[in-house]
């Protein structure tokens, strides 16, 4: 995204006693934001002081900007939007990774940056936390590539710029960036006569043309399937997509990035489609369908399972936020919400019964005294999940295993499968717990990933959060070992063996902690943490003896990569 210059303010109406800081936080509260994550720094003190004086919104102090940003990301996935406060230069640069991830995965985060005094910037003074070259636009220019909108706020432009930034964040589900000089926060804003921006309306003629083409496509199809993906989650289309699957009487699957976009206890649900690496029954149903209705599809290497997913564009009806594609024809300017509403009256419906699908982890194998392994701990973890749980899963080995777990009704699933920054899940779980304090949050992370952002467990303890934390100790970066088919036993994929059950104590808190090595110990641990979680954080360390133990999805991926490597090195 390119950097947006500040909008030219309309004529002034009046100066009020409402300060710039008050106006910022009032607008965020109006969006349902009741907590703001961040790290204090000397250029954002006035923002934080103004925040402390505000009722109905509070600051959650993280341990570093990376963790605070990922917490904001996890919060936004449940609340629809979040906010992050950092200081100029050093703070905002530390948060770049989190904002880039939010952009990649369509998560609206409002990034507020406290900047040096306006006069010091205009005089190009060489101040700390800068590049010591007198240029103050450089960081905003960087964020222009990471955010959908950027602006430097002043009392004169605040109303216009904040209104536009929030509109953009909601319209395209992307992060936005707003900086404010430390000496302007307490200045009264100048109110404007503003007309709130509105999204472009659907062109009715284009909608009718798209519906006619959809009707033709369906009338020529003897079978159909519905796929839900990432943008269906971000735009809140779950109920509309459920209604569509029911009215059409078609099987429904999710893509890997869109897991939980479709209720996995819905009678039409058949599983996650993962090309050649996922379940064979799901692959056959999806790839043999005469018509594939894809909702919010994002065609990444992960979703396409390294391009082994076979989706013929000519057989697809692809619904995006502001366009629909039928076969090779594209109908731009059609809002998805309007298409869903119009589609309900179409009347087309399959008469066949739903296909019977065996979900991989519905059967729980393994004797109690056997060592845990992927084939035995995933079914037991699936069995412990409850309706309305928030399930936060780290990228890597666990993400591929959990893609095949069948979630309970009303569960939310948080996993960063697009950006895939290891260490994301722990601070994201913190954000989820702050966003949904009355729901049970379960965090599943690996030993390698946890070591990147472990300090946010301290923030959990500081805020009275009580997650159930499962740590998969498989002695290093197992996912990286699977992806590297050229060498074996790489030294760089080894990590120190921490005492994970002592983490809460190290951070000055208390937790109920257990190590498990057998199926029976895991079953007992699950029963224990379901009792203990009501009063304290719980940590369960899963110690797997085989460092190359992994779910079937990864075994298939590994075989595919090995085959590609052999073909590449074959003599010609």
Q: Can you give the three-state secondary structure of 336-382, one letter per residue?
A: HHHHHHHHCCCCCCCCCCCCCCCCCCCCCCCCCCCECCHHHHHHHHH
Whether pLDDT at 92 is above 70: yes
Burial of 468 (0-12, 13-18, 19+ CB in 10 A): buried
Q: What is the pLDDT of residue 16?
A: 64
Stretch 363-371: mean pLDDT: 97
Whether pLDDT at 3 is above 90: no
Residue 170 to residue 551: CA distance in whole angstroms: 37
Q: Would 298 be classed as within a structural domain?
A: yes
The count of domains in the chain is: 3
Q: What is the pLDDT of residue 14?
A: 54
Stretch 524-531: mean pLDDT: 97
pTM of structure: 0.95
Q: Would 555 be classed as within a structural domain?
A: no
Same domain, 401 and 513: yes
Q: Would 222 be classed as within a structural domain?
A: yes
Same domain, 188 and 233: no
Strands in 372-481 per DSSP E: 390-393, 412-414, 441-446, 468-473
For 299, the domain range is: 204-343
Summarised one tens digit per residue, pLDDT across range 199-225 is 889 999 999 999 999 999 999 999 999
Q: What is the pLDDT of residue 489?
A: 85
Same domain, 244 and 186: no
Whether pLDDT at 11 is above 50: no
Stretch 268-283: mean pLDDT: 96
Q: What is the pLDDT of residue 352?
A: 84
Displacement of CA 132 from its chain's centroid (Å): 36
Same domain, 184 and 223: no
CATH of the domain at 468: 3.40.50.970
Summarised one tens digit per residue, pLDDT across range 422-481 is 999 999 999 999 999 999 999 999 999 999 999 999 999 999 999 999 999 998 888 888
Q: Examine the fold and report which residue of 167, 192, 217 is the final residue of a domain before the chain moves on.
A: 192
Q: Would 231 be classed as within a structural domain?
A: yes
Q: Examine the fold and report which residue of 192, 226, 251 is the final residue of a domain before the chain moves on.
A: 192
Residue 10 banded pLDDT, cuts 50, 70, 90: very low
Q: Would 241 be classed as within a structural domain?
A: yes
Same domain, 423 and 307: no
CATH of the domain at 258: 3.40.50.1220
Whether pLDDT at 157 is above 80: yes
Q: Would 324 be classed as within a structural domain?
A: yes
Neighbours of 193 (CB within 10 A): 10
Q: Examine the fold and report which residue of 157, 192, 227 is the final residue of a domain before the chain moves on.
A: 192
Q: In Å, how far are 33, 63, 353 from 49, measured between CA atoms?
A: 18, 19, 61
Residue 556 to residue 550: CA distance in whole angstroms: 10
Please tell me the least confidently modeled range out of 3-17, 32-46, 310-324: 3-17
Same domain, 526 and 389: yes
Residue 36 to residue 57: CA distance in whole angstroms: 7
Q: Would 413 be classed as within a structural domain?
A: yes
Whether pLDDT at 292 is above 80: yes
Stretch 48-70: mean pLDDT: 98
Same domain, 74 and 168: yes
How high is the mean pLDDT of the chain? 94
């Amino acid at each position: 995204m390119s950097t947006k210059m500040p909008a030219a303010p309309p004529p002034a109406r009046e100066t009020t006693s409402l300060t710039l800081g008050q106006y910022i936080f009032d607008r965020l509260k109006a969006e349902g934001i009741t907590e703001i994550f961040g790290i204090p720094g000397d250029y954002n003190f006035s923002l934080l002081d103004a925040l402390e004086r505000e009722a109905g919104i509070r600051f959650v102090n993280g341990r570093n900007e990376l963790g605070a940003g990922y917490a904001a990301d996890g919060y936004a996935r449940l609340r629809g939007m979040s906010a992050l406060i950092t200081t100029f230069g050093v703070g905002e640069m530390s948060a770049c990774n989190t904002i880039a991830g939010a952009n990649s995965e369509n998560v609206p985060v409002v990034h507020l940056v406290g900047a040096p005094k306006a006069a010091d910037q205009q005089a190009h003074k060489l101040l700390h936390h800068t590049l010591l070259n007198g240029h103050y636009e450089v960081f905003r220019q960087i964020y222009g590539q990471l955010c959908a909108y950027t602006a430097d706020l002043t009392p004169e432009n605040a109303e216009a710029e904040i209104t536009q930034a929030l509109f953009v964040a909601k319209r395209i589900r992307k992060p936005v960036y707003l900086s404010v000089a430390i000496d302007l926060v307490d200045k009264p804003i100048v109110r404007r006569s503003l007309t709130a921006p509105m999204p472009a309306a659907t062109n009715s003629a284009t909608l009718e043309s798209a519906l006619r083409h959809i009707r033709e496509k369906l009338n020529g199809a003897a079978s159909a399937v519905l796929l839900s993906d990432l943008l269906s989650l971000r735009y809140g289309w779950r109920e509309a997509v459920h209604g569509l699957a029911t009215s059409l009487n078609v099987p429904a699957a999710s893509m890997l990035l869109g897991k939980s976009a479709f209720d996995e206890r819905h009678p039409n649900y058949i599983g996650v489609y993962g090309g050649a690496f996922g379940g064979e029954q799901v692959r056959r149903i999806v790839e043999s369908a005469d018509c594939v209705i894809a909702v919010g599809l994002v065609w990444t290497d992960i979703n396409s399972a390294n391009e082994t997913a076979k989706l013929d564009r000519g057989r697809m009806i692809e619904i995006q936020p502001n366009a629909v594609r039928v076969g090779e024809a594209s109908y731009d300017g059609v809002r998805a919400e309007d298409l869903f509403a119009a589609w309900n009256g179409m009347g087309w419906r399959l008469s066949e019964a739903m296909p019977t699908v065996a979900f991989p982890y519905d059967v729980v194998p393994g004797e109690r005294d056997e060592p845990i392994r992927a084939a035995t701990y995933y079914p037991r973890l699936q069995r412990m999940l409850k309706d309305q749980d928030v399930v936060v899963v780290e990228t890597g080995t666990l993400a591929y295993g959990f893609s095949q777990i069948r979630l309970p009704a009303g569960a939310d699933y948080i996993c960063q499968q697009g950006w895939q920054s290891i260490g994301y899940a722990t601070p994201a779980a913190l954000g989820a717990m702050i966003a949904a304090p009355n729901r049970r949050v379960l965090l599943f992370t690996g030993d390698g990933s946890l070591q990147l952002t472990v300090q946010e467990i301290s923030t959990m303890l500081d805020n009275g959060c009580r997650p159930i934390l499962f740590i998969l100790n498989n002695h290093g970066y197992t996912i990286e070992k699977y992806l590297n088919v050229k060498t074996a036993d790489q030294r760089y994929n080894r990590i120190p063996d921490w005492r994970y059950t002592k983490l809460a104590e190290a951070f000055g808190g208390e937790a109920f902690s257990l190590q498990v090595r057998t199926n029976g110990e895991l079953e007992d641990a699950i029963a224990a943490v379901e009792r203990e979680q009501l009063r304290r954080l719980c940590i369960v360390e899963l110690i797997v003896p085989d460092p190359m133990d992994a779910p079937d999805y990864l075994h298939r991926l590994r075989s595919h990569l090995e085959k590609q490597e052999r073909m590449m090195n074959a003599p010609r």
